[in-house]
Every structure is written in structure tokens, then in C-alpha cells.
Amino acid sequence: MRGRDTPSPTALRERGAELLRQSADVHFDDTDVHPAYARILDALAPDEARILRLLAMQGPQPSVDVRTATPLRVGSELLAPGLTMIGAEAGCRHVERVHAYLNNLYRLGLVWFSREPVADRQRYQVLEAQPDVAEAMNQAKRTRTVRRSIHLTPFGHDFCDICLPVDSADR
């Protein structure tokens, strides 16, 4: 059943055709701002804006997964995924929501989760000494961390450049 605000397939096709017509028109004045930016701002929590500002100002952030340690690293169990210090570093009011915030930012196309570590390996020493990482490491007899990173996407960089005052000292 279609809600009253849901456009029909015909209306959607007409909108799509209009976009294609505009893309072929060399005289069409397209703005420098992506049309989704206003909707994205509406879909962000204040803490998510802080996370974006952190990533824009300080670059990729370290993340670790805690896994059981097995011979040859075959068949290990994931104990705690995506542990970071992003919430604390960004000054989030609700650090317990950081996983949800990061999932939303990923859904919006603003961040991506890399399997590669950040360039400065020393940043992991501080992260791996955090209580939540230590707690996860104590869940099994033998554990190990897998170093990863969290980055802004190119779309996320553009969004931050246009929509967020990343150079502001207001924290």
C-alpha cells in the first residue's frame, strides 16, 4: 500500500527523465552544492557533526577489532568490532552511541571503514590501552587486535567543506 506522500512510479520516472534532460542541457545552471546536503543535515545528530569535524580536521582515525587468537589466524571469533576513541576525541556528549553514529554516517555516504591502519602506528598504542579494549581482550584466553581505520569519503570531505565550520574553535 502506497502512502499519500509516496510518488507513483510514473512520477518518479518523469523526475528521472527531467534530471537526464537537465544533464544534457549545456545552459542549465547547476549549483555547486549537492542537493542531498540539506537532507543530510536534517539526518544528523549534533554528536555526528562533531565526529565529521574531527575527521575533517585530524584525518583518518584508528579503530580496532578484538578477535580470539587462533593458530594461523584461521577460524578466529570476533569479540568486539570497531573500538575507537572517536567519541572522546570529538567531544561527543553520548559516547555510548558512537557505533550508531558511525553507522548513520556510513549510511549517508560520509565515512567509510577501511581494513588498512592509519599511517601513525603509535596511535594504536593509546587506543589499545583503553578500558573497553582491555575488557574485550579479557573475554578469551588468547586474543589479538586487528588494526583498522575510519575515513571521510570524498563526498564526506565535500560535505564538511561546504556545510560544517570545521575551522571553528567552538567545541
pLDDT of residue 12: 85
What is the spatial distance between Cα 169 and Cα 27, in angstroms, rounded to a whole number? 41
What is the spatial distance between Cα 130 and Cα 140, in angstroms, rounded to a whole number? 17
pLDDT of residue 92: 97
Q: What is 5-62 written as a DSSP string? A: TSPPHHHHHHHHHHHHHHHH-TT----SS-TTHHHHHHT--HHHHHHHHHHHHH--EE
Q: Where are the domains positioned within the chain?
A: 34-163
Predicted confidence (pLDDT) at residue 1 exceeds the cutoff of 50 = no
CATH 3.60.70.12, domain 34-163, yes or no:
no
Question: Which alpha helices (DSSP H) does 30-145 contain, by range?
Answer: 37-42, 46-58, 86-90, 98-107, 122-128, 131-137
First to last CA, the chain: 46
Overall pTM surpassing 0.85 (yes/no): no
Q: What is the pLDDT of residues 91-136, one digit of tens each?
A: 999 999 999 999 999 999 999 999 999 999 999 999 999 999 999 9
Q: What is the pLDDT of residues 39-92, one digit of tens each?
A: 999 999 999 999 999 999 999 999 999 999 888 777 889 999 999 999 999 999
Identify the H or E element spanning 161: helix 154-163
